[in-house]
Structure 1
């Protein structure tokens, strides 16, 4: 299932990218009803390239039929992120802790200044695939819904985090 979304920020695009490149951002992100707070596993920086590994868990409800194939308590993954500060892009790959044969997800984030000159935005494009007979599409929709909700809340949290640094 292909997905796309857009989030807006009150802050300059470079400040937003610097926030995503800082591992101290992630423990303060909100835990949402569907996707829990991330755990920073690894952080490396070499010039304009930043690599982060973050562990997430899906904590929302799944369709009842899906739980015959997937244990909701085992829907955890590592998000491998590469941030290119110079190009203002980020790529992610999800590496499931369990069910690697049933779940794949990758995406690209493009950051840009708003046309108004005030603030910035992020365009997210990705592909999520759940390979479970009969209910795969339902699970994909549930996961994408949780992801979109999380991305919107994450943008708000990043603005608040930058505000706190400036105070």
Structure 2
């Protein structure tokens, strides 16, 4: 969800109430909550700082998702986020990177920036993988086999970039 700690108070309070309700429901049902936070681009503030402040605000409200899903950060921001998560929720399962339809090359750079992160566990970047091939397939520009090859190729490229950035 788009969330900014400096959103208009009524909007922010409504969003926080919705997130709190979702978190409580996941606790009651025994499900793990993956919470995706996307700072809006149209509000002022240093973007990486806004993400850090957003997570801190949600922790302050007693919201502890099992997983965070956030966009790629600089290595410096990963250190700050790792410290925040370790301090506030040492039982957090981790962070997965979201793609926001970024190119495979941009995501590979994000993987490299996250290489030393203790909390970054993987990526979930569907649109990067399938959006353009799906558009072309639906428009009749490519056939089924080409769609499959393109989706597979991008996915393999991302897997290789992840493994290269984070060797075992």
> Same-fold call, TM > 0.5?
no
| Higher-Rg member (1/2) | 2
Q: Normalising to structure 1: TM-score of the pair? A: 0.26
Q: Which has the higher contact order (CA 8 A, sep 6+)?
A: 1
Q: Normalising to structure 2: TM-score of the pair? A: 0.25
The structure in which a higher percent of residues are helix is 2
The structure in which a higher percent of residues are strand is 1
